[in-house]
């Protein structure tokens, strides 16, 4: 009985510790300009206009689920929409900013920002386990931001779930 209680207590402590150290899902609190994960297509069009190109791809063979990429070449933006989990509605799953994009995250990071600015703005949210020397993950790849670096400066920003 005593061993069962101690094992249960240890399991609860491990679970609580994991919950406290779990990376934040920044997709609900961060944005690129006015673009947010979960936005519907009409809201995106109202914010930045119609895309230059739309590319639809099934998520699996014979599946009713799909992803659709909206390309905004002049703005340096690619948005991925999906109906995964929402059979009849599309929502933004991810936003990628490349040059010449001028949009900033909610904490002021944009293409060209120095690495030090990311480390200051997202200090509490940097996921060291998922980051590399060439990319910094804030939150997690399941819901956050990925800053791709070149020579110590941001060259690409991804906001969303990178595991679509």
pLDDT tens digits for range 37-71: 999 999 999 999 999 999 988 776 766 777 889 99
Tens place of pLDDT per residue across the chain (164 aa): 443 333 333 333 333 333 345 567 898 899 999 999 999 999 999 999 999 999 988 776 766 777 889 999 999 999 998 876 554 558 899 999 999 999 999 999 999 999 999 999 999 999 999 999 999 999 999 999 999 999 999 999 999 998 76
Both tokens of 23, joined, read: 């990376």
Instruction: Please report the pLDDT score of residue 9 as a whole number.
Output: 33
**What global pTM score does this model have?**
0.81
The pLDDT value given to residue 5: 32
- At a CB cut-off of 8 Å and minimum separation 6, what does 89 contact? 40, 83
């Amino acid at each position: 009985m005593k061993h069962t209680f101690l094992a249960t207590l240890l399991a609860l402590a491990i679970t609580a510790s994991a919950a406290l150290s779990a990376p934040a899902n920044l997709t609900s609190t961060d944005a690129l300009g006015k673009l947010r994960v979960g936005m519907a297509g009409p809201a995106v069009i109202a914010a930045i206009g119609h895309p230059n190109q739309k590319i639809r791809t099934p998520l699996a063979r014979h599946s009713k689920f799909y992803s659709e990429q909206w390309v905004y070449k002049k703005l340096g933006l690619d948005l991925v929409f999906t109906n995964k989990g929402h059979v009849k509605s599309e929502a933004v799953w991810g936003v990628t900013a490349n040059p010449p994009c001028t949009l900033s995250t909610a904490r002021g990071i944009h293409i060209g920002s120095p690495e030090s600015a990311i480390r200051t703005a997202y200090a509490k949210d940097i996921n060291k386990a998922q980051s590399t020397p060439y990319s910094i993950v804030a939150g997690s790849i399941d819901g956050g931001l990925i800053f791709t670096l070149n020579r110590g400066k941001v060259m690409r920003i991804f906001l969303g779930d990178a595991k679509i």
